[in-house]
Amino acid sequence: MVSILAAIEQIACKHPERTAYRVDDMTLTYHELWHFSDCVAHSISKRGLQRQQPIIVYGHMSPFQIVAFLGAVKAGHPYIPVDTSIPPERLQAIIEASEAELLLSTEPLHTKVCIPVMPVNDLTAQLSNETLEPISWVRDEEIHYIIYTSGSTGQPKGVQITADNLANFVTWMHEHFTFQESSVFLNQAPYSFDLSVMDLYPALVGGHTLHAISQEQITNPKALFDSLAASKTSIWTSTPSFAKMCLMNKEWNQELMPALTTFLFCGEVLPPAVAKEIMQRFSHASIYNLYGPTETTVAVSFVQVTEELLTQFEQLPIAPVTNQNISLWEDGEIVISGPTVSAGYLNAPALTAKSFHLQDGKRTYKTGDVGYEKDGFLFFSGRKDYQIKLHGYRLEIEEIEKRIESLPPVSDCVVIPIEKDDEIVSLSSYIVLHEPLTDSAFKMTKQLKASLSDYLPSYMIPKSFKYMETLPLNPNGKIDRNRLAAWGTV
């Protein structure tokens, strides 16, 4: 099986001047990536950390982030990518839960943390010509990265991906998709989301170029489309939500991006209308709907979206039924097995035992997704729990509720996803306070939102706050979420 680091080293030797990564006007060649990550690995190894002790990498789309990732794994440590959109208290919770003892940063940290912080920039300036021997690299069943996702217990949970998981995923990508030599891969998702892994490693292992777009560009349409037009992207990886946003610009089409041949969508439902519109605008491109949770390394299945498929079904399938690694249990739950199933949640054996099992010697993961089979395909029909996707972000409703309930004025809280045209568009919260409101509801909402923003990223903070004397109950005595959802209909 491919060794991720060995494959990247080969590219760095064969094509040292080839661009590995670019963002804004910064670029990084394969030689620089290899050399700088050696410098980082050296500095890490001098610190005497225990092998496999996680290292936090904090930043946003900087080339030095991928330098830090490779530096960590060369020194035998998994890295935990934390995007700058993650607020300080959540970062603190991740440091505590992961027992990380080092943070590498590529952006200024606006908060004090209890572990040493090293700017990656400084480490790469300490010139070192030694390269760490492959014996020290993360390998086999050791952990390569840990991604924290929203957790229903009120705390984020760290999904541990092994070197073998990642190598199997990259091999699968290279087997099923054709990438022409020296292609350009779009990198839209920040590294704290596993969608970013779909372009990062398949691109680096194949010697391609990653073209990253920053949040700043995404919020400035002119900068975004100028960057896309200049990028020569041929492989597009994003959430369907991001593509939907791009579709609002009529000029986003094959003319603007003539090299684009492949759309890889993953992470949430791909609405047929989005796929149809893209098909019309990009006549030379193929569109794929990929499926998989972070816990099984990015994606485990795909279906090519064709005109026939769009006429045959009202909803797009996520896998052919022949996919050996996916099965549907009697209650409709989608269960995934095989070599990309994660080693479980870091330092959380009870949570791990709930979702991960060994079956016939193979690791399996109960996804919590519900599906059904029809005409040779598997379809996604929803969740068994309160996990949702909002604009492509994975959220546990219970985590938001627990966090709101932990605020001093709040006694009870329920958060309801608000849907429009079968898609979740926002969150509403219904709140019972300890004391009746003495001031305006507006002021209370402002205060609660400000407290929440220390802990929750902005996409997890409900849009509306409604104050009630009690929450409505259904005949079973449970909170009547259906009634609240009906109130909140857009």
Taking the least distance from each CB to ligand AMP, the nearer of 149 and 183 is 149
Distance CA 362, CA 341 (A): 9
Chain-centroid distance of CA 244 in Å reads 18
Taking the least distance from each CB to ligand AMP, the nearer of 225 and 386 is 386
Chain-centroid distance of CA 65 in Å reads 15
Taking the least distance from each CB to ligand AMP, the nearer of 188 and 253 is 188
181 in helix, strand or coil? coil
Distance CA 292, CA 197 (A): 12
Distance CA 74, CA 66 (A): 12
Amino acid identity of residue 122, one-letter, is D
Strands (E), 193-273: 209-212, 235-238, 262-265
Instruction: Please name which of 283, 185, 277 lies closest in space to residue 234, comparing C-alpha atoms.
Output: 185
Taking the least distance from each CB to ligand AMP, the nearer of 36 and 288 is 288
Give least dist CB 377 to ligand AMP, A: 12
Give least dist CB 20 to ligand AMP, A: 25
Give least dist CB 87 to ligand AMP, A: 19
CB 136 within 8 A of CB 49: no
Which residues lie near ligand AMP (CB under 6 A)? Answer: 149, 194, 266-270, 289, 291, 293-294, 318, 367, 369, 380, 389, 394
Give least dist CB 445 to ligand AMP, A: 28
Taking the least distance from each CB to ligand AMP, the nearer of 22 and 389 is 389
Give least dist CB 269 to ligand AMP, A: 4
332: its two tokens: 């409709």
Rg of the chain over CA atoms, in angstroms?
A: 23
CB 211 within 8 A of CB 228: no
Amino acid identity of residue 74, one-letter, is K
Give least dist CB 342 to ligand AMP, A: 10
Taking the least distance from each CB to ligand AMP, the nearer of 75 and 298 is 298
Give least dist CB 467 to ligand AMP, A: 32
Taking the least distance from each CB to ligand AMP, the nearer of 234 and 367 is 367
